[in-house]
Structure formats: structure tokens, C-alpha cells
Amino acid sequence: MSLLIKAAATTRQLIHKAPALQQQVRHLNLLEFQSKDLLQKYGVAIQQFKVLDNSSTDTQVVNSFDCPEYVVKAQILAGGRGKGIFDNGFKGGVHITSNKNDVLALSKKMIGNRLITKQTPKTGILVNKVMVARSVNITRETYVCILLDREHNGPVLIASPAGGMDIEAVAEETPEKLLTVPLDIDKPIPEDKLIQVAKFLEFKGDAIKRCADEIQKLYTLFKSVDAVQIEINPLAETDTGEVISVDAKLNFDDNAQFRQKEIFAMDVTEEESDPREVEASKYNLNYVAMDGNIGCLVNGAGLAMATMDIIKLNGGEPANFLDVGGGVNEQQVAKAFEILTSDPKVKGILVNVFGGIVNCATIANGIVAASKKLKLNVPLVVRLEGTNVNQAREILKNSGLPIQTASDLDDAAHKAVASL
Ligand code: ADP
Ligand code: MG
């Protein structure tokens, strides 16, 4: 799920400048070619494409697909593929070639190998499928994203003429190149607003109207499929003046599963994302990978963010977050611990739980059971507060385990950083 959070957080950050981890909800993710299928259904301009999966039909597929030039793209649930590198040393998850024979050769170098990008775990993500698309001559790359935003209590459109690249960097270095437009969920986007956005994206002449139409179609799609985010990066202008969605990333509202059965049936999260997230989600836990060395077990996204801030304030860096949410049982806590400690980067663990719905004694029992079972050999700092906290403290004390308890959040973070 970290990819989802990062994706959502990326755009959220643009609006709120809030740290990552804003959104801890699990959202369905689709591979690019699946997203493009949906875009096409709603009349959004995309390039023709085929999908290869290293099966015997690949040759036939490529042979019957005539293009002057092809773009070959690894399909994983992460961006930054163009600049990515495979674990076999092969460079780039996006290649352009005009030679049909090269298409198959390129896809063979990708499929079955792990692609490492800025957005994947350090070990990369296994590529099972490759998309081959008709290449277009891109003259300009812009950025368009529609997402549900809490602050605006509804959808917002984020647009930037500086597309193709890292949008976080754009937000950081040239915030004037970002436009945020709140949208009305009950109505199409007014034409004048669309024109304003298209002009902000620096489209000229006939391309203004074309761009406006594309964005409107994207908005119709957004609402019809219960998306929480549609990110098009780049929305490209071609040398023939076309406006085309070249890369698309869609996330959906999990609560809409009952009316979006077809879309949810396409879920590929199992195969193409961080295995720890997948494992965590099986137990209804949220896992977020970070770069530091303190493993964190928390309940709730707000507490996760506060924990991250206070660890950093104390000079440390979180390695990950495992959010056990509300109504958690002992077995889930134990599983959470297992996932947290499976990361060799983790040199210490901080448990920070505020028991409201969660019973602190349940957490304590889970911690003790897991520590014994896993023969935990990294320092463990625990801060519990709220429901049944006294009983929980007794359980920890009587466990005989070298657990450091902390009185408050600051104390906890301080001890966790000091314990390394
Ligand atoms: P990612 O964001 O994962 O790196 P993209 O699909 O955005 O993947 O591709 C990276 C870059 O490759 C694009 O920004 C664009 O410059 C180029 N590119 C992608 N598809 C095409 C295409 N069909 N024709 C020409 N260039 C392309
Ligand atoms: Mg892209």
C-alpha cells in the first residue's frame, strides 16, 4: 500500500504540504494497461496498445501490430519506470524502438525480472507483463490529476505545464507551475474552467479545446468508476497537435467495490506490489515502507504521522509503519510484529498505541507473544495509553522481556532513538 499512499500523498502534499502518510486507506490499484482500457472506454485519447506476457502468442501479437515506432513499457504498480533499472542490470522500464524484432527482445529482458524505481521497494517489483504501444512524437508533457481531497470536501483538479517529471519536485521548486481547481461532484466541469486549465497547461490554438475535452472525459471517468485519484503524467501534446494520455494511474474507493465489480476483479496487487503490504493486507493491517531504521507499530493514520514527526524531531528515521487500526486482535498484533521485524533495516521497534476502541491489554499480549515467538533481538520501546492501560503495563512487566516502557510520545521517541 505504500505506493498508493505515496501516490495519494504526492498530490496531497501539493495541496497541504503535509507529510506522507496522510491517507492510510487501502485502495485498489491497476496496472497501466488496465487503466488505459478504462480510459479508452470513456473516450479518452490514448495510444493503441497490446500486452505481452512471455507466452507463445507474444510473437503473433507483435507481428500483427503494425506501428512506425513502438514504446515498450514494463507493467508494475509504481511510477518512475522510465528511469528505473532492472535487477539483471538492464536499464529503463520504458523503451522506444522502430524495429519490430526489438520489441520482443526488449520485453524478454523485462518480463521475469524485477524493476527498481524511486517508488518501488529497494528489491524492486517483478515484471509479469509488458505493454507495447504505438509511439507518438511528444512535443510537450503536462500533468493532470483529479483526486478526492478532504480539505475541499470533494474532488479537485491539479494541473501543471511541467509534466512528465517528478511532480513533487515541481511543487517544491516551482509551485507557481501548479494550479488547483476544486470541482463540483454533481456537475461536469464548466467549459470556461476547462479552457482556463488548458491555457494554464500552455496549450495553444485548437489544442486548447482538445485538452479541455480530454479533461472533461477524465472527470466523467473519475466519477463513473468511483475513483479516488486519476493521475495522468504525462498528458502529452504531439507533433500533430493531438492531446494524449501517455501514462495513467488510477486508484479506486474500496467502499465502491459492490458497484464496481468488474474493476475490482482486475486487482493485481498480489503480484505486482511490495510483498509485505500484501501480507499485511491479508490480516487487515496497513504497511508503509520508509527509509529509516525504526520499525513502528501504531494505530491510526494520525498517530502514525505524529509518531513519524516526533521520531524525526528526536533525530531518528522510521523504517516503516504498521497501522493496526481499531478492533485489532492478538493474532493481528503478532502478525504485525512479524512483518515489522522481517525488514533487516529495522534496528529498533517503537510501539505507539492509543487505546480507544483498541484494548491496550490485547496489544500487550500480542507484543509479548510475538517477542517470545520471534526471539526478538532488537530493542523494543512501548508506549501505551488509554483503555485497559494498567492491565497492559502489568502484562509487559510480568513478561520478563527487556521491554522499555515510555510515559508519553516524546519519551517514547527519545528512548527509541537512543536505543539504537
Ligand atoms: P513512468 O512515469 O513510470 O516513468 P511513463 O509512461 O510516464 O512511465 O513513461 C516515461 C516517459 O517515457 C514519458 O514521460 C515519455 O517521455 C516517454 N514515453 C512514454 N510513452 C511514450 C510514447 N508512447 N511515445 C513516446 N514517448 C513515450
Ligand atoms: Mg509517468
Q: What's the pTM? A: 0.68
Long-range pairs for 264-270: beta carbons < 8 A, 24 or more residues apart:
264/28, 266/30, 266/34, 267/28, 267/29, 267/30, 268/29, 268/30, 268/31, 268/34, 268/77, 269/28, 269/29, 269/77
Tell me if residue 70 is catalytic: no
> Under a CB-based contact definition with an 8 Å cutoff, are residues 72 and 95 in contact?
yes
User: Residue 272's pLDDT is what?
Assistant: 52
Query: What domains sit in the chain, N to C, each tagged with a CATH number?
Result: 1-46+136-271 (3.30.470.20), 48-135 (3.30.1490.20), 275-418 (3.40.50.261)
Query: What is the Å distance from ligand 2's center to 358 Cα?
Result: 40
CA-angle at 410, arms to 408 and 416, nearest 5°? 100
* 94, 125, 166: residue to mutate for ligand 1 pocket, most atoms within 8 A of CB: 94
> Which atom from ligand 1 is nearest to the alpha carbon of 84?
4
Tell me if residue 219 is catalytic: no
Grid coordinates of 47:
495510444
Gap between the Cα atoms of 293 and 347, Å rounded = 5
Q: Residues comprising the binding site?
A: 47, 80-82, 136, 233, 247, 299, 356-358
**DSSP letters spanning 267-289:** --HHHHS-HHHHHHHHTT-EEEE
Query: What is the Å distance from ligand 1's center to 143 Cα?
Result: 12
Chain center to CA of 228: 12
Q: Residues comprising the binding site for substrate?
A: 299, 356-358
> Under a CB-based contact definition with an 8 Å cutoff, are residues 307 and 325 in contact?
no
Ligand 1, CB within 6 Å, residue ranges: 47, 71, 73, 79-82, 94, 96, 133, 135-136, 138, 141, 164, 233-234, 246-247
The ligand with the least distance to the CA atom of 82 is 1
User: Residue 344's pLDDT is what?
Assistant: 87
Of 231, 272, 277, 330, catalytic: 231
Residue with the smallest CA separation from ligand 1 atom 13 is 164
Query: What is the Å distance from ligand 2's center to 32 Cα?
Result: 10
Buried b / exposed e over 85-98, threshold 16 CB at 10 Å, is ebeeebebbbbebe
> Under a CB-based contact definition with an 8 Å cutoff, are residues 358 and 299 in contact?
yes
User: Residue 296's pLDDT is what?
Assistant: 95
Residue with the smallest CA separation from ligand 1 atom 6 is 247
What count of residues does the chain have? 420
> Which atom from ligand 1 is nearest to the alpha carbon of 165?
14
Q: What are the Cα distances from residue 393, in Å, to 145, 350, 390? A: 47, 15, 5
**pLDDT tens, the chain, 420 aa long:** 333 334 444 444 433 333 333 333 456 778 999 999 999 999 999 999 999 999 989 999 999 999 999 999 999 988 899 999 999 999 999 999 999 999 999 999 999 999 999 888 888 999 999 999 999 999 999 999 999 998 899 999 999 999 987 788 888 899 999 999 999 999 999 999 999 999 999 999 999 999 999 999 999 999 999 999 999 999 999 999 999 999 999 999 888 989 999 998 887 665 556 778 778 888 888 888 888 999 999 998 889 999 999 999 999 999 999 998 877 888 899 899 999 988 888 999 999 999 888 899 999 999 999 999 988 889 999 999 999 999 999 999 999 999 999 989 899 999 999 998
> Which atom from ligand 1 is nearest to the alpha carbon of 133?
23
